[in-house]
Amino acid sequence: MKKIITTCLLCMVLVFTLSAQAASEASTKPAHRTLVLGLEKEPATLNSHANAENIVLQMGHLYAGFLTSLNPQNGGPILPAVASSWKYISEKELAIQLREDVYFHNGRKLTADDIVFTFNWTMDQKNASIRRTNFIAFFDKAVKTGEYSVTLHLKSPNPSLLELLAYLPIVAEDTVGTLDTAPIGCGPFKFVRWDATQQIVFEPYEKYYDYESIQFDELICRPFQDYNAAMTAFFANEVDIMLFLNTSDIPAITSRGSKYCVQSISDMGNYVSCNTAKEKLANPKVREAIKYAIDKKELIDLLQSGVGLPISQMYAPSNMYYVPSLDWDKDLPRAKKALVDAGYPNGLDIEILTPNTSARVSLATILKEQLEKVGFRVTINVQENAAMFELFNAGKADLAVGGFGFYADPSFRTMFISSTANSNWRRYGYNDKEYNDLYMEGLSATDTARRKEIYARMAEKAIDEAGFFMLFSSTSNCAVRSDIEGLVYRGSGNSDFTRITFKK
Amino acid sequence: MKSLIIKKIFSSILVVFLLTILIFLLVHMLPGDPIETMLGDYATEEAAAALRAQYNLDKPLPIQYFIWMGNIIRGDWGVSITSKTAVMPQVLNRLPPTLMLCLIPSFLSLGVAIILGVISASRHNSPVDLGISIGSLALLSVPEFWMGILLMLLFAVVLNVLPAGGYVKPSVDFGKFLKSITLPVVTMILHSMPSTIRMVRSSMLEVLQEDYIMLARTKGNSPVRCNYIHGLRNSLIPIATNLSLQITSLMAGVIVIEKVFQFPGMGLLLLTAITNRDYPMIQACIFVFSIIVVTVNLLTDIVYALIDPRIRYS
């Protein structure tokens, strides 16, 4: 009996000792924190110079450095990033001072040579950087003026330059070769590895100038091909932030009490465009009929559960260049009369081209019903993305539905229907000299009043002549675990995770 | 037997060669352009033309085919248009998980299906037979992706005992590997087993009517011996055919399962390549799939000869 008691006591002491040691280790060793993001699909590449998809842009904002940063407050001033300050020497010269504590993920310090290289590489057509189209119209060269200073020389002034710099990933000669699959940047997160279809792993870079603000040790991006599987993984707590969330699933998130929450992460505009190269759509009365058949409020109610704003221009209603007087309401009698006046008293066959995503197909379906009320006979042509682009770019669509993220400067999106070299105008068949001249003038105008006049006139032409009808603004939402806060949205494909904290 | 195998191999090589032409033509007939898909809204004529030249997409189709075929023979499967990395390592890396998802369920479900099919046939019209028939019909009616999501909801969300998708290599963590393949494999088994059960059952029902089975019973053989030694062996030909068809149809269905469970196999690789119109990758994936199908058919022909000596000597 004595032996049994002694043995039991010894075991208890052993167990307590081991537990205490483990607890002691646990309390002294910091817990390894991982932030897991759910992506709506696997990016085709990590090179945001090569691919325009939002998901690729987002990956780029994890590892790459940028000269400037967008302000999370809509309409707020552009913020410094790798560029610590800047000054316009003249209308066509921007002097930039760089931070002296920026390092690439291979340990090398960033200097002015890397900024010069970035611009030279981007503007070299053989590198096929999509960013080139943003700069080609006005950019001349970048000149090193000191170890940490550069002057950008422009062919013409450009008020959107600082915003454009927030979308230009910095590259270096010794890192540019691996951008697609193992990128090396100078941003907050260092690329670790890419396990195909499973995860893309990053870790906070210890030499990043704001490293102390990052409160976790690892960032894992998990792509999902199937939306239902993604939501299952989120509810199984395998994902902390689901970067894509269908609006219809918001109640499913919020109904689970305080465990999860929904956050808006991007503003975008949805549109239906007319191909005015087609004879029936070249008729302004037909376009008028389409314009006044559209019920934007119904679209917002049915597609966005009432969340969103009707818009008429290619930038957010809060934008200083937005002209509220150009907004219009549905007017069915006027639409019907316009179609009759156009010479189609018995109706007109028309086709809406849409990609095969559920949001766009739903938009096309409701538009079909609205147009049929005024006499159109509408068919919907649902195409996979690649096929849709082919038809769209070849100018084969009648109407097409789509959407894009908003930029602060109106020149970004008004470029769409210009027929200048950096646009794909055949989609819309709109080749108007006045519009192009206004676009080019708007790119370089520095007087705000004149720019307002320019963009007001361009918006008018887009609606009345090009038949480019903006419909409503919507937000992209993400689902977040409630113990996580600090997600900052800065712009399209530009969610900032460096301020994420975990509530205790 | 040797000459049979050699003949089959030569005809398989010819089939694969003809398939390369078909694959190439089909891929290029797909609507959509990889360059415009990649460039999206930035697809100006200038940018697109520069990239097309870079990938030889501006050359005539026959030239593109001969370039591709010549490279394949030299072991160069080209460079992915979207990721700009070599195609072959990606394809070979993704092949084992797909083979795992096709072969493990095929053989596991075969073992179970044979037993259930024989039981069902030997107890024809009994409640056991009815239960197995109804059960297999019910499973056959359920789409595999729906079944997969239901299993995921049950085991990953409600019970929280298995992961909701993903894959861990066995070399990294064998325990997690087993957990990660459980749901996809079970889904594939539940999807493929019913048709095998029904095939075994109907085949056995025919065989069990034969005189030699009656003789075997009369001679005092046990039911197990009659069913499995005398009966099953004679119904193996259609079972072998069904297995071969099942493996090939599982390879088609594996795309859905890989998508649902985010399993890094060739199905998902092919799906992504098709979405992006990544021609070299699509061609390589279909080429590999076609080699597998041809090989499975070749092996099935050899198995026929092993099962049935009459085929061997004909």
pLDDT score, position A189: 97
Report the side by side order of strands in the sheet with A139-146.
A83-90, A93-98, A149-154, A139-146
Residue B43 has its nearest CB partner, among A50, A391, A424, at: A424
User: Over the stretch A115-132, which tens digit does the pLDDT of each residue have?
Assistant: 999 999 999 988 888 888
Contacting residues of B for A125, CB less than 8 Å apart: 46-47, 50
Shortest CA distance to A192 belongs to which of A201, A183, A181? A201
User: Over the stretch B113-172, which tens digit does the pLDDT of each residue have?
Assistant: 888 988 888 888 889 999 999 999 999 899 988 999 999 999 998 898 999 888 888 888
User: Over the stretch A407-462, which tens digit does the pLDDT of each residue have?
Assistant: 888 988 898 888 876 667 778 888 899 999 999 899 888 889 999 999 999 999 99
In this structure, the strands spanning A309-310 and A149-154 are unpaired
- Residue A168, pLDDT > 80, answer yes
Q: What is the largest CA-CA distance in chain A?
A: 109
pLDDT score, position A24: 45
Mean pLDDT estimate for chain A = 89
Nearest-CA distance from A389 to chain B in Å?
6
How far apart (Å, rounded) are the C-alpha atoms in residues A54 and A48?
A: 9
Model pTM?
0.80
**Residue segments in chain B with a per-residue pLDDT below the cut of 50:** none
Contacting residues of B for A53, CB less than 8 Å apart: 40
User: Positive or negative, the Cα torsion across A370, A373, A376, A382?
Assistant: positive
Contacting residues of B for A132, CB less than 8 Å apart: 47
pLDDT score, position A329: 94
Contacting residues of B for A385, CB less than 8 Å apart: 32, 37, 275
Nearest-CA distance from A470 to chain B in Å?
17
pLDDT score, position A294: 97
**DSSP string computed for B254-311:** HHHHHHHHT--SHHHHHHHHHHHT-HHHHHHHHHHHHHHHHHHHHHHHHHHHHH-HHH
pLDDT bracket for residue A20 (50, 70, 90):
very low
pLDDT score, position B165: 86
Of A45-49, A332-336, B133-137, B288-292, which has the strongest mean pLDDT? Answer: A332-336
How far apart (Å, rounded) are the C-alpha atoms in residues B208 and B232?
A: 9
Tally: H helices and E strands in chain B: 15, 0
How far apart (Å, rounded) are the C-alpha atoms in residues B98 and B104?
A: 10
Nearby residues of A15 by Cβ (< 8 Å), 6 or more positions away: none
- Residue A223, pLDDT > 70, answer yes
Contact A442, A455 (CB under 8 A): yes
Q: Which residue has the tokens 């934008």?
A: A319
Residue of B nearest to A133 (CA): B42
How far apart (Å, rounded) are the C-alpha atoms in residues A192 and B151?
A: 32
Contact A51, B38 (CB under 8 A): yes
Nearest-CA distance from A340 to chain B in Å?
35
Per-residue DSSP letter, A477: E
pLDDT bracket for residue A390 (50, 70, 90):
confident
Nearby residues of A268 by Cβ (< 8 Å), 6 or more positions away: A403, A404, A405, A406, A473, A474, A475, A476, A492
How far apart (Å, rounded) are the C-alpha atoms in residues A151 and A116?
A: 9
pLDDT score, position A143: 97
How far apart (Å, rounded) are the C-alpha atoms in residues A142 and A95?
A: 10
Nearest-CA distance from A299 to chain B in Å?
24
pLDDT score, position A339: 97
Q: Which of residues 95-134 of B touch A (CB under 8 A)?
A: none
Q: Which of residues 58-87 of B touch A (CB under 8 A)?
A: 82-85
pLDDT score, position A212: 93
List of E strands, chain B: none
How far apart (Å, rounded) are the C-alpha atoms in residues A233 and B157?
A: 8
More confident residue, A136 or A165: A165
Residue of A nearest to B166 (CA): A198
Amino acid residing at A497: F
Nearby residues of A343 by Cβ (< 8 Å), 6 or more positions away: A283, A285
pLDDT bracket for residue A465 (50, 70, 90):
very high
**Centroid of chain to Cα A337:** 39
User: Positive or negative, the Cα torsion across B152, B154, B156, B158?
Assistant: positive
pLDDT score, position A22: 44
- Residue A75, pLDDT > 50, answer yes
pLDDT score, position A28: 44
- Residue A343, pLDDT > 90, answer yes
Nearest-CA distance from B280 to chain A in Å?
14
Angle between helices B87-122 and B266-276 (to 10 degrees): 130
pLDDT bracket for residue A52 (50, 70, 90):
confident
Phi, psi dihedral angles at B190 (to 5 degrees): -65, -25
More confident residue, A136 or A402: A402
Q: How many CB atoms lie within 10 A of CB B99?
A: 16
Q: Which residue has the tokens 């205490």?
A: A20
Contact A219, A62 (CB under 8 A): yes
Whether residue B47 and residue A385 make contact (CB cut-off 8 A), yes or no, is no
